[in-house]
Amino acid sequence: MAHVVATGAGKAMMERRTDPTHEYILRLTGKERPRVLFVGTATGDEAPYILSFYTTYDSDRCAPHHLPLFHRAVDDLAGFVRGFDVIHVGGGNTANMLDVWKRQGLDEIMRDLWEDPGSNVVFTGGSAGGICWFEGGTTDSYGPTLQVLPEGLGFLHGSFCPHYDAEDQRRPLFHDALLKGELATGYAVGNLQSLHFTRSGDAIELVTAISPVEDPLALRVEAVDGRIVETQLPAKVLAGAGPIAAGPSS
């Protein structure tokens, strides 16, 4: 059974070192020391973000690795990626990230893993790392004014809007895109919330929303008869968050 855990924030969640969301992701693998691959394409393989990943997903809790695509050092990309239990995609520029993946063939490698009936991979990430699994979403890939991103990998049907509680432009843009039909019915989450989906055979299911804090913001958002309907999703509040480090909304 393959999984997707799509989170509202990328860097900000990564910098929450003891956030129980990280442990939730690792436990989905069913392994004592899962192999975790960080893909930081959306920030151009930015070194501080990669370091942040290694600090949070340290070697005491998993076997961490990262995949640079701007200075690629792997010949057999498919063989390399298939060796991991978790593929963690960082936040940043979603549009540029998807273009690089297509050039490198990483999009099809991950699609094959997602569609493989024997796959048990957990695909995860926040912001760009959450949007990419859906058919589309809202993005700041093209500058400070948010725009609609009409194409994602499409592992999951519908659209995704991260940062719903952190960026004022997100909600009105998402609503407008749904009303105009530019985006399909989808989901919106706050920075700290995540949506957990599973795939078993051809069946894809939303298992639950998860959150490290009370009163989570996780919504199903759709246009119905010319108006927007937001429906709160059932959410599991995770226990065990310790002291955190503040981070940006991306």
Judge whether 163 counts as a catalytic residue. yes
Structure tokens that stand for 85 in this block:
């239990």
Distances (CA, A) of 30 to 85, 96, 131: 9, 33, 25
Q: Which of 52, 127, 141, 249 is catalytic?
A: 127
Judge whether 119 counts as a catalytic residue. no
Q: Which of 163, 175, 194, 211 is catalytic?
A: 163
* Residues with a known catalytic role: 127, 163
